[in-house]
């Protein structure tokens, strides 16, 4: 039997690779002759660049950059001869952020420095993964590091190192009124992709400030002001139809918007990006059984997350998808989709580590479903 393992990471407990290993152990306990192929997955969130780098055979490049609090941090990205894989968390991440400082002063400048370093070292294709950011500056800091200039309504260049929309806490906002891209180092010959793991817009109740701002230390009043500034900025650079057309511009505090609007990049869905990169469609055709896994399987799992895209591809191939989860959280009225089956570790009563419990669940699944015993 050909078995394809495509587990997500179990947040805080198991990486994608560890989850695959646990499931493989459980399956092989009862089906030692099974032919098992496993692939690490990511959805564009934090840690995604390392998985892609492994697939692409890229080397890690380290350099000092400006962190989210305008202090030096040790950043990194991955590079081949012509490709670069940059993660916003590696330069502008929560781990380097003092949450007591105003969110409006935090900058994505360091992420722009990583991209610039890749461009200056002959990388033609650059993928930027927008997960784990500490910033909410609509990518203005990132764009400034790449040569874009921003001016307020008085014609003044917005200041550095406070690179966000607001000049300094307590002052009147230095709103962007004019943008100059003549010195932008990203050229038409470059391929620039922003990989997102959310579908949130830049503004509004589902936007960057409202949804992600509180976990980055933003106060209610500050977030309302930032959202107001974002609305003005968005209307300055995008037509209304364009604002609706592109999904995920609110990712990473609007850095995805900055990549699209200021740098001329393309914003893509993380799940599609990763599954295409690994030629998963061919593996789906090969497999008799396809198993994924995640820490919590709920309605969101089938409404835009990695599992949803994987399920879509399985249905196109007329294959079923099995989900092994830490917890399945679906109300009775939320029936599973046709061809999608899920079970969780609550059926395993013995104590154990997350790895041991997932392995035991895989063994239980193998016995009940694959062997039908």
Q: Is residue 292 in a domain?
A: yes
pLDDT at 340: 81
Q: Each residue of 149-182: pLDDT tens digit? A: 988 777 877 765 444 444 433 333 346 888 999 9
Residue 278 resides in a domain? no
In Å, what is the CA distance from 7 to each residue of 18, 245, 292, 358? Answer: 9, 30, 4, 11
Q: Are residues 346 and 210 in the same domain?
A: no
Distances (CA, A) of 21 to 75, 154, 201, 326, 344: 30, 59, 36, 15, 17
**Listed residue (30, 87, 100, 92) closest to 67, CA to CA:** 92
Question: 190 and 264: one domain?
Answer: yes
What CATH number corresponds to the domain at position 167?
3.90.1510.10
Task: Please provide residue 86's backbone torsions phi and psi, each rounded to the nearest 5 degrees.
Answer: -115, 140
Q: Is residue 277 part of a domain?
A: no
In a domain, 302, yes or no: yes
Residue 363 has pLDDT above 50, yes or no: yes
Q: How many helices (H) and strands (E) does the chain have?
A: 13, 13
Structure tokens at 47: 């840690």
Quote the longest CA-to-CA distance of the chain.
75
Q: How far is CA 146 from CA 8, 114, 124, 140, 243, in A?
A: 33, 10, 15, 10, 23
What's the helix, strand, coil split of the chain in %, to 5? 40, 20, 40
Beta bridge partners of 61: 77
Q: Is the domain of 35 the same as that of 82? A: no
Q: Residue 211's closest CA among 163, 170, 254, 243? A: 254
Mean pLDDT to the nearest integer, 252-261? 95
Q: Check whether residue 142 and residue 194 sit in a common domain.
A: yes
Q: Which domain holds residue 291?
A: 2-39+283-370
Domain count, the chain: 2
Q: Cβ contacts of residue 276 below 8 Å, gap of 6+?
A: none
Contact 243, 14 (CB under 8 A): no
**The pair of three-digit structure tokens given for residue 23, joined into one six-digit string:** 């499931």
In 3D space, the residue among 76, 119, 117, 79 whose CA is nearest the CA of residue 96 turns out to be 76
Count Cα neighbours of 171 within 13 Å in the Cβ-side half-sphere: 13
pLDDT digits (tens, 9 = 90+) for 316-357: 999 999 999 888 886 544 455 677 888 888 888 888 999 999
One domain, residues 316 and 366: yes
Which tokens go with 30?
């009862």
154 & 247 share domain: yes
Position 147 in a domain: yes
Could you give the CA distance from residue 116 to residue 114 in angstroms, rounded to a whole number? 5
In a domain, 170, yes or no: yes
d(CA 39, CA 287): 13
Q: Is residue 207 part of a domain?
A: yes
Residue with token string 């380097």 = 96
Q: What is the pLDDT of residues 29-53, one digit of tens each?
A: 999 999 999 998 877 777 788 888 9
Determine the pLDDT at residue 166.
Answer: 44
Of 239, 271, 303, which residue is a domain's last? Answer: 271
For 214, the 3-state DSSP assignment is helix
Predicted local distance difference test score (pLDDT) of residue 281: 96
Q: With bands split at pLDDT 50, 70 and 90, how would you rate the model's confidence at 303?
A: low
**For position 198, what pLDDT does the model report?**
86
Q: How far apart are CA 68 and CA 96, in angstroms?
A: 7
252 touches 108 (CB < 8 A)? yes
Q: What is the pTM of this model?
A: 0.84
Give the pLDDT band of residue 263 (cuts 50, 70, 90).
very high
Q: Over range 351-366, report the average pLDDT.
A: 94
Please state the rounded mean pLDDT for residues 192-218: 93
SS3 assignment, position 246: coil
Percent of the chain with pLDDT over 90: 60
pLDDT tens per residue across span 194-205: 999 888 999 999
160 and 53 within one domain: yes
What is the C-alpha to C-alpha distance for residues 309 and 276, in angstroms, rounded to an integer? Answer: 11
**Whether 75 and 152 share a structural domain:** yes
Residue 301 lies in a domain: yes
Please state, as a whole number, how many other Cβ atoms lie within 10 Å of the Cβ of residue 347: 12
Strand partners, 325: 294, 344
pLDDT of residue 19: 95
Token pair of 192, please?
A: 């620039």
**Same structural domain for residues 32 and 53?**
no
User: Are both 258 and 302 inside the same structural domain?
Assistant: no
Specify whether 212 is located in the same domain as 65.
yes
Q: What is the DSSP letter of 369?
A: I
| Amino acid 104: pLDDT | 85
Could you tell me the pLDDT band of residue 302, with boundaries at 50, 70 and 90? low
Q: Give the pLDDT confidence of 235-250 residue by residue, as tens digits.
A: 888 887 777 788 999 9
Backbone angles phi, psi at 256, to 5 degrees: -65, -40
Shared-domain flag, residues 96 and 217: yes
CATH code of 303's domain: 3.40.50.10350
CB of 276 within 8 A of CB of 258? no
Average pLDDT over residues 265-287: 93
Chain mean pLDDT for the chain: 88
* 268-277 residue pLDDT tens: 988 889 899 8
């Amino acid at each position: 039997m050909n078995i394809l393992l495509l587990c997500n990471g179990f947040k805080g407990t198991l990486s994608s690779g560890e989850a695959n290993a646990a499931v493989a152990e459980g399956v092989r306990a009862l089906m030692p002759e099974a032919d098992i192929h496993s692939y690490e997955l990511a959805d564009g969130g934090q840690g995604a660049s390392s998985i892609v780098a492994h697939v692409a055979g890229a080397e890690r490049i380290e350099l000092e950059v400006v962190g989210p609090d305008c202090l030096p941090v040790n950043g990194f990205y991955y590079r081949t001869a012509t490709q670069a894989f940059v993660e916003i968390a590696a330069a502008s991440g929560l781990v380097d952020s003092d949450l007591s400082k105003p969110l409006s002063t935090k900058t994505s400048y360091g992420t722009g420095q990583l991209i610039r370093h890749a461009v200056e070292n002959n990388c033609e294709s650059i993928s930027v993964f927008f997960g784990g950011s500490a910033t909410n500056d609509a990518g203005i800091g990132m764009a400034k590091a790449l040569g874009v200039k921003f001016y307020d309504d008085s014609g003044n260049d917005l200041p550095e190192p406070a690179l966000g929309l607001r000049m300094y806490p307590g002052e009147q906002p230095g709103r962007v009124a004019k943008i100059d891209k003549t010195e932008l180092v990203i050229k038409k010959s470059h391929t620039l992709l922003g990989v997102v793991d959310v579908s949130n817009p830049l503004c509004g109740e589902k936007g960057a400030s409202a949804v992600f701002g509180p976990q980055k230390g933003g106060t209610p009043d500050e977030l309302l002001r930032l959202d107001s500034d974002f609305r003005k900025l968005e209307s300055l650079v995008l037509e209304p139809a364009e604002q609706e057309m592109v999904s995920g511009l609110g990712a990473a505090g609007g850095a995805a918007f900055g990549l699209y609007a200021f740098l001329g990049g393309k914003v893509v869905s993380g799940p599609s990006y990763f599954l295409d990169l690994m030629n998963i469609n061919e593996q789906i055709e090969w497999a008799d059984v396809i198993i994924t896994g995640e820490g919590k399987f709920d309605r969101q799992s089938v409404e835009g997350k990695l599992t949803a895209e994987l399920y879509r591809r399985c249905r196109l191939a007329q294959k079923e998808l099995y989900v092994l989860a830490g917890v399945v959280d679906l109300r009775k009225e939320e029936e599973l989709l046709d061809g999608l089956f899920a079970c969780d570790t609550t059926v395993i009563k013995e104590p154990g580590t997350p790895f041991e419990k997932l392995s035991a669940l895989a063994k239980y699944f193998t016995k009940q479903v694959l062997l039908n015993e």
